[in-house]
Chain A
Amino acid sequence: MPAWLTIEEYRTLTAVCERLIPADQTPGAAEAGVPDYIDGLLGAFSFDPPRIWAGGSFSGRHGGLPGFARFHRLTALDELAWRTRIEGSLGRPEREFNGVVVGLQERYREGLAALGPDFCHCGPDEQDLRLRSLAPFTQLVYDHSCEGMYGAPEYGGNRDAVAWSGIGFAGDVEPRGWTDHEVSEA
């Protein structure tokens, strides 16, 4: 079950992400879990602590105690900022000190609806046409898809670090780091 999107929306989003970063010889955005990254951001506040900042110091992938999965607690101000960014200002004065803020939830809900209920079933050319006609929304999803794809797996995307291995990137490397030789030689 998605954390915030409806099943329908999740399905459309999956098709969008896969069109933006399609599979070839290695997995694309859908298989890498990018829709879960985005849904995890939109639904960050259904977790405690909210899934905004993964913990430190190490993931455990290169030694050390794994800490990434313990998300940081937010202060009242952090929560105000992230709730406003995600939910929008919703007419609440404490969120509108510099004006109205349209939240990510609203942008996704409207953007996914505008792509049409049949988006999943369209051919790639039709999908591209619709994505191009909604350029600002597509850009937003693409930016988030890049984060989900190539960010730490603890945020829901890049499942099993599949996107990192696909590009030969080691990801987080502490506490192993790199030897002087690995730094200075080809």
Chain B
Amino acid sequence: MDRPRGIGGVTVDAIIVGSGPGGSTVADILTAAGWSVVIFEKGRNHLIDLEHPYRLADDFSNDEIKFINRHFLGPDPFLEPRTFRTGPEDGDHSFVGDVNSIPSTVGGGGTHADGKVPRFREEDFGLLSTYGPQPGASVADWPLTYADLEPFYADVERRIGVTGDAAANPLAAWRSGPYPMPPGPSMYGAVLSTAAAETLGYHPYPAPGATNSVPYDGRPPCNNCGFCAFFGCPIHAKGDPVAMLQRALMTGNAEIRPETFVSRIRTDGHRATGVDFIGPDGVERSMDGRYVVVAGGAVETPRLLLLSGFDHPLIGRHLMVHFQTIAAGGFADLRFHAERGRAVTHLHDDALVPDDPSRKAAAQAGLPWMRGGIVEHGGTGLPILEAKLYRWGPTHKENMRRSPLRDRLWAFTMQGEDLPVATNRIDLDPTVRDVRGFPVARYTYKPHRHELAASAHHGPRMAAILEAMGAEWTSVVTSPGSVEGPGGRASVDAPMSRHVMGTVRMGEDPATSVADSIGRLHQLPNVVIADSSVFVTSSGYGPTLTLAALAARFATAMVS
């Protein structure tokens, strides 16, 4: 095959694979230091006018069909499926299709997340030394501390533009300064649910948000349109990662190549020399780079390393996906109008800090310790999603008007800490291919006992808050849904949380980790992993700010 090399024979300083929050942060820092950068993105561009990067695109809209039902931001599960199984007992796979995918588009998942971006707590970086091991899991300390990362947290909060109130969360880690912007308005339902949570002794606070509350960085404040999680922002009030990509492009040192899939990292045995890629014309080409930064997300990144033939035995292992526990409550006398405002305006972190009841529950479950995760206070404002939940026929419209499952519903979602387990992994599916002919990523995943016990403990506690709020009925569900029980193995769905981590674990020891403390592969030091793949443990906080802070640390190390 014809393989022209380089852009006009030039070797770029860094090739970045993926334009999500991780890749964009790296691009911002490298281009500011004068490096030449090419960002490869397999998805389409709906974000920025690439010729005139001061202009943002006008492709996003408040359109449920386009964003929820028709995969506007990709990946299309026909073109790029993934597969799932709980273990080898399921055969090659038990499901083919959309396995909790995050958008594949310029901006990655940042474009459609609703952007709750809390920091981790200090002990999240030292779980083994703080709490000790867990049988059946590879609990370990990170090769860096909160104090090491704090300056980078502060840095990316400014780059993205993050809202928050530094005094509002007594359980938060220390910070060197205030948030760049004050919090936006509280949703009506959250006003009620935070009051109820406080009466029960919890500590709710305004979620740190990557959505402008005031004009910031040339972009307007959020105007609460409500089509937020799963949607691109029509007025570009979400800073992550638009702000970084735009800045990188404006330096003139960066180029974004959308609709271009990186299929292999080329090496000379000691170092990476560049990548092979397939652009919109379907032709495979290659490009040389001094560095290759991989920021494809915690599923596509290990897939690319495996497609490249890298053979560290831990690549893809220790996949972690937050275990979701959802407590929903129905309220006959309230209408929450959750379609007004960002998807979630408040959180509480209490389930992350062991207390006497949770210690007792852990002991009863035979676990040395257990932790839950952040609890999101939220409702739902999407009528198509709601309509499909009701039965068809003469009752349909009456249900839609009364709206027990949308306008009269309030819910808590806990993003529970998922322990790292070596058998939970991403590898290449033996038979299923993407449209370009490459093996797709396969999940092999089942939750550890810890997640089930923590969910069983915290689910009823969340339901109790809804009852204190006046709920007529409450119900608790989890994702993955059904799991091994005394009656045998029931079917386990793929986890729904879009918080995916692990798979290219970092550490000091090449025998127990794949990347080092500044993101470089132990085996190929000019390959830098800049996404949540490197997480050692999952904490129970959304991963995005932490992965951006790590990307900032890694990029800063590259240029210094």
A residues apposed to B, CB below 8 Å: 19-24, 26, 28, 52-59, 67-68, 72, 75-78, 80-81, 84-85, 97-98, 101, 128, 131, 138, 142-143, 145-147, 149-152, 155, 163-164, 166-180, 182-186
CA distance A28 to B395 in the complex (A): 12
Q: A57-B58, A172-B61, A178-B340 are in contact. Are A184 and B392 (CB under 8 A)?
A: no
CA distance A131 to B394 in the complex (A): 14
B residues apposed to A, CB below 8 Å: 44, 57-66, 69-70, 72, 76, 78-79, 81, 96, 184-188, 191, 222-227, 234-235, 259, 280, 334-335, 337, 339-341, 383-384, 386-388, 392-394, 396-398, 400-401, 403, 432-435, 437
Q: Check A164 against B383 for contact (C-beta < 8 Å).
A: yes
Q: List 28 A-B contacts (CB under 8 A).
A: A19-B392, A20-B392, A20-B396, A22-B393, A28-B397, A54-B65, A57-B59, A57-B61, A59-B61, A76-B280, A77-B259, A77-B435, A81-B79, A81-B435, A98-B432, A128-B393, A131-B392, A142-B388, A147-B384, A150-B384, A151-B69, A169-B339, A170-B339, A173-B62, A174-B235, A180-B185, A182-B337, A183-B186
Q: A98-B96, A166-B397 are in contact. Are A68 and B223 (CB under 8 A)?
A: no
Q: Check A147 against B435 for contact (C-beta < 8 Å).
A: no
A36 to chain B, nearest CB (A): 14
Taking CB atoms, residues of chain A closer than 8 Å to B188 are 183-186
Taking CB atoms, residues of chain A closer than 8 Å to B398 are 24
What are the nearest 10 A-B pairs in CB distance?
A177-B223, A172-B62, A146-B387, A56-B61, A180-B185, A150-B383, A151-B65, A57-B234, A20-B392, A183-B341
Q: Check A80 against B435 for contact (C-beta < 8 Å).
A: yes
Q: A146-B387, A182-B340, A183-B186 are in contact. Are A174 and B435 (CB under 8 A)?
A: no
Q: Check B62 against A183 for contact (C-beta < 8 Å).
A: no
A171 to chain B, nearest CB (A): 7
Q: Check B96 against A58 for contact (C-beta < 8 Å).
A: no
CA distance A164 to B381 in the complex (A): 12
Taking CB atoms, residues of chain A closer than 8 Å to B184 are 180
Taking CB atoms, residues of chain A closer than 8 Å to B72 are 53, 72
Q: Check B65 against A155 for contact (C-beta < 8 Å).
A: yes
Q: Check A54 against B79 for contact (C-beta < 8 Å).
A: no
CA distance A179 to B339 in the complex (A): 12
Q: A57-B235, A147-B384, A174-B234 are in contact. Are A184 and B58 (CB under 8 A)?
A: no
Given contacts A57-B58, A178-B226, 6 further A-B contacts (CB under 8 A): A28-B397, A67-B61, A75-B259, A166-B400, A174-B223, A182-B224
Taking CB atoms, residues of chain A closer than 8 Å to B384 are 146-147, 150-151
B393 to chain A, nearest CB (A): 7
Q: A21-B397, A178-B225 are in contact. Are A54 and B59 (CB under 8 A)?
A: no
The one of A21, A52, A185 that contacts B70, using a Cβ cutoff of 8 Å: A52
Q: Check B64 against A150 for contact (C-beta < 8 Å).
A: yes
Taking CB atoms, residues of chain A closer than 8 Å to B66 are 53-54, 152
CA distance A101 to B96 in the complex (A): 13
CA distance A143 to B385 in the complex (A): 9
Q: A174-B234, A182-B224 are in contact. Are A98 and B81 (CB under 8 A)?
A: yes
CA distance A170 to B382 in the complex (A): 11
CA distance A147 to B388 in the complex (A): 9
Taking CB atoms, residues of chain B closer than 8 Å to A67 are 58, 61
The one of B62, B78, B340, B341 that contacts A85, using a Cβ cutoff of 8 Å: B78
Q: Check B340 against A183 for contact (C-beta < 8 Å).
A: yes
CA distance A77 to B44 in the complex (A): 10
A111 to chain B, nearest CB (A): 15
Taking CB atoms, residues of chain A closer than 8 Å to B225 are 172-174, 177-178
CA distance A185 to B187 in the complex (A): 8
A148 to chain B, nearest CB (A): 9
Q: Check B60 against A146 for contact (C-beta < 8 Å).
A: no
Chain A residue with Cβ nearest B213:
A180
CA distance A168 to B62 in the complex (A): 17
CA distance A21 to B243 in the complex (A): 44
Q: A68-B61, A167-B400, A167-B401 are in contact. Are A177 and B224 (CB under 8 A)?
A: yes
B331 to chain A, nearest CB (A): 12
Taking CB atoms, residues of chain A closer than 8 Å to B280 are 75-76
Q: Check B59 against A55 for contact (C-beta < 8 Å).
A: yes
Q: Check B340 against A54 for contact (C-beta < 8 Å).
A: no
Taking CB atoms, residues of chain A closer than 8 Å to B70 are 52-53
Q: Check B62 against A171 for contact (C-beta < 8 Å).
A: yes
Taking CB atoms, residues of chain A closer than 8 Å to B234 are 56-58, 174-175
Chain A residue with Cβ nearest B60:
A56
Scoring B81, B387, B394, B403 by chain A CB atoms within 10 A of each residue's CB, the highest score goes to B387
B258 to chain A, nearest CB (A): 10
Chain B residue with Cβ nearest A124:
B394
